Structure 1
Amino acid sequence: MTGQVRFGYKASAEQFGPAQLADYAVLAEQAGFDSVFISDHFQPWRHDGGHSPAAIPWLGAVGARTERIILGTSVLTPSFRYHPAVVAQAFGTLGVMFPGRIVLGVGSGESLNEVPLGIEWPDMKERFARLKESVQLIQQLWGEDRVTFEGTYFRTENATVYDRPETPVPIYIGASGPAATRLAGRMADGFITTSGKPRTLYADTLVPALAEGLDKAGRVAGDVDTLMEMKVSFDDDPDRALADTRFWGALALTPEEKTGVEDPIEMQRLADALPIERVASRWIVSTDPEEHVRRAQEYLALGFRHLVFHAPGPDQPRFLELYATEVLPRLRALVG
């Protein structure tokens, strides 16, 4: 999956209900996008108008309605709400049903999705260790029969995933810091991160960390797909392009501002207090398709080969049509 540059669509699970979102995924395939990725959140970023459809059944439904598009999570947490063996079973099934089209994107999780279920939220060191152990167990279950696994957090005894594809589903690790990025380089098939942060984070921290992980495992850059979730607001009306970002104000909150916030009502209150300029700072907001191409090119130059576009507006069919007509052809011409 790493040979060519791909352009995908981010299905906004926090903003739209599952049936509506499935329609948008079908439109994305028809519009010429290469992939569709969905987050797996138990709760949305905001209470009013928020949604949180379960990603696993949604992927199955969309897979049945589409023919070629790659479908995956960005991301799912395999170490709290789910036992990693259950994740291996579910994505093994999806991989059998839609061979070559399924990606398991995983991450260390957010308290917003886990604490409401009575989970005591651990520190980052434990979350990282759980993520690593989960990926190891999933890979072992896909590669062996009768798996007895004795980990720090997870155990299995003579466990077998009976329905699994001949070629295992690729696992992508989502990260915004160096440790998990190195882990992606060492043991994953792909690396996921998001746009809109200082360029130095990508150029000086994440890209070198990925290279370090690859080197430690004796791998080369082409062994790992590099996925950048691009936050873009594109419209011919500049005021609408700016206003559309308001729903996603929580993304502009700092980690310190979000720490310990597990209630979508409180998260919404904090986000709505931000000025629109700060809300929009995480997004590429422009009416000019060439500006969108130029900004995307910056990430391509850093080595990202899979750009997944996340649009904040309520009219997703409009975005898909505009981006497919005005931006994607320019990008495809750029990468040959």
Structure 2
Amino acid sequence: MVSVGYTLMTEQSGPRELVRNAVAAERAGFDFAVCSDHYFPWLDEMGHSPNAWVTLGGVAQATDRIGLMTYVTAPTFRYHPAVVAQQAATLQILCGNRFTLGLGSGEALNEHIVGAGWPSADLRQERLVEAATIIARLFDGGYLTYQGRHFRVDSAKVWDLPVQRVPIGIAVSGQQSCELFAPLAEVMVGIDPDPQLARWWDTASRPGAPDGGRARKVAQLPISWDSDEAAAVHRAHRLFRWSLGGWKVNAELPGTAAFDGASATVRESDVAAQIPCGNDVGAIVDAASAFFDAGYTDLALVQIGGDRQDEFFEAADDIIAALRRIGAPSVAPA
């Protein structure tokens, strides 16, 4: 059976609302919740960007069952990897072993704030390899001294380690990133329903990985649920038109004005063609099926609109049930 998740989108809600949404998601029956970790929203219209780690600490205490995950943290500019390891270990203790640390190489939008420049994608991936290595070694326990090309660690130790080690997930976008990161992680994080990604990841996974290398694979699907389809399309265009630029573009833009300019020619019809809008569960199933057919095991839904979560939660039971049937084994007639 597939796992169906909910997205705590920090770009469109404040921290108190996000904690309430997490509680509602758990009550609605979602299996897990992922949380974006940004310093900026994508567009000014979105209007929020609270600290993800503080918010997740509140979520950890307000919920009991639902899995939690950063989607994703960049441990390469704003955060030093030794600090990320400490944060992740603490959160795992607070939530009772429900946390997965999702990592990525970041976007200029959020990482430029520390004034360290924005290098090429290859260098960003090099930094992430070093960062993930440091985090994993600190999860092993004991003191760590490390000297790499990009990071230095001097006698660091995470004193409060959870009983259950924090699983690491890493975001990938192609063969190179799969080959680099699969040996360092237990979970694949992807944005495209491309079956090649799952195959590349499984081939590159380290020996002894879960299920013979066929690890958990997590993706995300934005939707705009609303009984008024036209309103749903308008809202998706207003708040999510930035997403149609693609990751190679989105990772490079430095601010909300750049995203506004880059998406200026995106039409409402363009957004409606990419994002399920309205209250058709079948449209969500069709979009989700592409990810599950590509080998993903987990899919987190993003309900667009910080003020439109309640209507979505009211429909969540039907949506979750329909998505879980995608991965249910077929039963032959007696």
Indicate whether the TM-score tops 0.5: yes
What does residue 234 of structure 2 align with? 243
Contact (CA 8 Å) 1:185, 1:224: kept in 2 or not?
A: no
- Offset at 1:217? 4.0
Unmatched 5+ residue regions in structure 2? Answer: 329-334
Q: Which residue of 2 aligns with 1:277?
A: 269
TM-score w.r.t. the length of structure 1 is: 0.90
Give the superposed CA RMSD. Answer: 2.0
- Identity, % of aligned pairs? 32
Offset at 1:318?
Answer: 0.9
Alpha-carbon distance in structure 1 between the residues aligned to 2:173 and 2:278: 25
User: In the TM superposition, what is the alpha-carbon distance from 1:288 to its structure 2 partner?
Assistant: 2.1
What is the TM-score with the length of structure 2 in the denominator?
Answer: 0.90
- Displacement of 1:221: 5.1
Q: Displacement, 1:120?
A: 0.9
Q: Distance in 1 between matches of 2:79 and 2:113?
A: 14
Q: Which residue of 2 aligns with 1:293?
A: 285
Match of 2:313 among 289, 309, 320: 320
TM-superposed deviation, 1:222: 5.5
Counterpart in the other structure of 2:257: 265
Q: Does 1:234 align with 2:231?
A: no
Match of 2:253, as an amino acid? V
1:267 aligns to what SS in structure 2?
Answer: helix
Aligned with 2:83: secondary structure? helix
Q: Pick one of 222, 233, 244 that aligns with 1:252.
A: 244
Letter matched to residue 321 of structure 1: E
Offset at residue 224 of structure 1 (A):
1.9
Deviation track 1:27-80 (CA, whole Å, cap 9, x = no partner) reads 101111011111111111012342111111111011111111111110010011
Provide the C-alpha distance between the structure 2 equivalents of 1:89 and 1:269, rounded to a whole number of angstroms.
38
* Residues 1-336 of structure 1 mapped to structure 2, 5 A cutoff: 5-195=2-192, 202-203=194-195, 205-214=196-205, 217=207, 219=209, 220=211, 224-246=215-237, 247-254=239-246, 258=250, 260-313=252-305, 314-322=307-315, 324-336=316-328
Count of residue pairs brought into register by the alignment = 325
Distance in 1 (alpha carbons) for counterparts of 2:60 and 2:289:
30
Deviation at 1:163, TM superposition (A): 0.4
Q: 1:32 to 1:140 in 2, by over 3 A?
A: same
Letter of the 2:63 partner, please give it: T
Does structure 2 conserve the Cα–Cα contact (< 8 Å) formed by 1:116 and 1:262? Answer: no
Give the secondary structure class of the aligned counterpart of 1:194.
coil
Matched residue SS, 1:48:
helix
1-side partners of 2:51 and 2:139: how far apart?
A: 23
CA distance in 2, matches of 1:325, 1:55: 27
What do the CA deviations read for 1:208-243 (whole angstroms, capped 9, x no partner)?
2212212x6464556521111112223332212212
Secondary structure at 1:304 match in 2: coil
Is the 2:2–2:326 Cα contact (8 Å) retained in structure 1? no
Tell me how far apart the structure 2 counterparts of residues 169 and 60 of structure 1 sit (CA, whole Å): 15
